[in-house]
Amino acid sequence: MKTLTSPKLLKELLARHGFQFSRSLGQNFLIDENILQKIIKGAAIFPEDRVLEIGPGVGTLTTALAKKAERVVAVEIDRSLLPILQETLEGFSNVEVIHGDILKLNLDDLIEDRFGRQPFKVVANLPYYITTPIIMRFLEEEHPYASITVMVQKEVAERLAAQPGSKEYGALSVAVQFYTRPQILCKVPASVFLPPPRVDSMVVTLEKRSKPAVDVASRSCFFQVVKAVFAQRRKTLLNTLTAAGMTSMDKTALSQMLIALNIDPKRRGETLTLKELADISNQIKPSRPQA
């Protein structure tokens, strides 16, 4: 197999196997060698690395990863792609393909069995409809990943790396930046996929932090605050926190608490930094015990 980024070769491969694209699975295969190499470079894959790939498709990215890494474990949900992967990955003894849904698999068992709980890197060209659930699963669960390098919808990438005060900044931005350091690597036009999606994409790397970006007394309380302040972006911070019903503090007490933290109660939640959100969650008095 010379190169799976060749549209002609890819079409012949798919036709030979009678493959039909699934719209429900959001299947779009990369046909640009330059973008492929940018993903590999951005993921910083070295000979000693173990890689978990999500959604290998026909194996375009998988083969490139296999040439760089010690081991690649690829999880593919579409059974009809398995015989294609068997063909395209022939000769790569360091690759294992697992048929399954990454959102339903027992990741603890998979990581223990394949990587022995050793650090690994996640690389994926994610279907847009499951981008956030997959990213959040890795962020929230205690898995020893070192980084997550993903190709996602442009608007999602911008939200992952958004800064306070921007229209893209939201609860997803805070969650991602709490656990990782996001960096947008490159923009990917729709024209470099077969078939082309309706939107452009971006490649983003999320480097795992050794510890969360800010110190919080309770992660549960912190993310309750985050959810509350972004739930109604047009409301002031004071009104949003009051309406959330998550605290035993009345409006006056909340206002005094914010002022003591040098946070204007009239500010909008979308202007708050992670540090300010952490300060609020550390001072607010929950209406029920927090983990």
Section 128-155 average pLDDT: 91
Nearest-10 Cα torsion for 18, 22, 27, 33: 20
Rounded CA-CA distance 65/72 in Å is 7
State the pLDDT confidence band at 1, using cuts at 50, 70 and 90.
Answer: very low
Q: Given this model, what pLDDT does residue 287 score? A: 62
Rounded CA-CA distance 251/171 in Å is 23
Task: Please write the tens of the pLDDT for every residue from 162-211.
Answer: 999 999 999 999 999 999 999 999 999 999 999 999 899 999 999 999 99
Mean pLDDT, the chain, whole residue set: 93
C-alpha separations of 202 from 26, 44, 219 in Å: 16, 17, 29
Could you tell me which of 122, 101, 95, 125 has the C-alpha nearest to residue 29?
A: 125
Task: Please write the tens of the pLDDT for every residue from 158-167.
Answer: 999 999 999 9
Domains and CATH numbers, the chain: 7-208 (3.40.50.150), 219-283 (1.10.8.100)
* CB of 33 closer than 8 Å to CB of 3: yes
The pTM of the full predicted model, rounded to 2 decimals, is 0.92
SS (H, E, C) 90-140: CCCCCEEEEECCCCCCCHHHHHHHHHCCCCEEEEEECCHHHHHHHHHHHHH
Section 247-271 average pLDDT: 94
